[in-house]
Amino acid sequence: MNLAEGVQLVSFAILAVMMLGSALGVVLLSNIVYSAFLLGGVFISISGFYLLLNADFVAAAQVLIYVGAVNVLILFAIMLVNKREDFRRVPGRWLRQISTAVVCLGLFALLGTMILITPWSLKTSSSVVVENSVVEIGKHFFSDYLLPFELASVLLLMAMVGAIILARRDLIPDSGLPGAKDSVAGTEALMLPERPRLLASTGKPAQNP
């Protein structure tokens, strides 16, 4: 994908404005659902930058993994946990805000300095020509980087098993079983506040505490 220089500059400007606006919305908006949706806009903007760099596989992976998996998982987690809490003003909040602003400005200055001192000129006489980036990445995955690739799959499997264990809903044990509590307080202690569960002994839905 070789675009004209003018189209590249316009596309870069549009994607930069989109990414910066979405990132500011993620940080500044008080509604966490809106912040999660704007985070998806940040990921899509980054995939557009990858397309401008002729990295089509990385752009597709950015959309599929970050937008289609990570961002959707964040939205599901936000919407499934329907616990509402009234936020109160924390004493000394201005000090935390100033500290956060100083850290953000320091990171911005560090990244800006790195961009300015990095030589971005490319050698036009390079003999290495990659016709299909997907094929080349697949060759490296299954040859040079086989062990990290398999370790990443094991880590993802562990994360999936942990998510299943955290999200499971067990039935409250019968009062006749050893170690079971007969009191109402003990029964309510075993329940999660966001979703009613069935009592194993009565078959009726338990009331939320």
Lowest mean pLDDT among 37-41, 98-102, 120-124, 141-145: 120-124
The CATH number that domain 1-83 falls under is 1.20.120.1200
Lowest mean pLDDT, pick from 10-19, 155-164, 168-177:
168-177
Task: Show Cβ contacts of residue 72 under 8 Å, excluding neighbours closer than 6 positions.
Answer: none
What 105-111 contacts at long range (C-beta under 8 Å, 24+ apart), as own/partner pairs, is none
Q: What's the rounded mean pLDDT across residues 75-83? A: 73
Given this model, what pLDDT does residue 83 score?
Answer: 60
Q: Across the chain, what does the average pLDDT equal?
A: 76
What are the sequence ranges of the domains in the chain?
1-83
Q: Across the chain, which distance is largest between two alpha carbons, in Å?
A: 80
